[in-house]
Amino acid sequence: MRATMQKRALLLVFSLAALVDLAGCEPCEYVCGAEADAYALCLGEWGMTWSDVGPAGTEFYEEDCKDTAKLERTRRTDEEKLDANQVCTERTRMLNSTTDCDELYDLLEDYDPTEE
């Protein structure tokens, strides 16, 4: 039952991110929610806590991530923003497409938001 609830929660996050993206909002801010959800789902399995990741808790992580995304956006040209939006949209899709913690770990560890 827990796995089903987790899958439903991830599906809901992905659906909301997709709807907001269609409304013209910033995809690199929405990837933050997908990352926070992945950490919340898997930290225990990885033998970690929020203090190992940074900000304490899902909401704090997501807000810190969004602040970083906003700052990075101000440093980009319009063309770089479009490229970053594509990367972020794909990253959100990838994070929301699995609940396998090994896959999520690989996705989270191989990512540098300044290289979008």
pLDDT at 105: 93
- CA dist list (Å): 16 to 36, 41, 87: 15, 18, 18
pLDDT, tens digit (0-9, with 9 covering 90-100), for 43-69 = 999 999 988 887 778 888 899 989 988
Least-confidence region, from 3-17, 41-55, 66-80: 3-17
pLDDT at 109: 86
pLDDT at 26: 84
| pLDDT band for position 113 (cuts 50, 70, 90) | low
Query: Does 24 score more than 70 pLDDT?
Result: no
Residue 60 burial (CB count, 10 A): 14
CA atoms within 13 A on the CB side of 89: 14
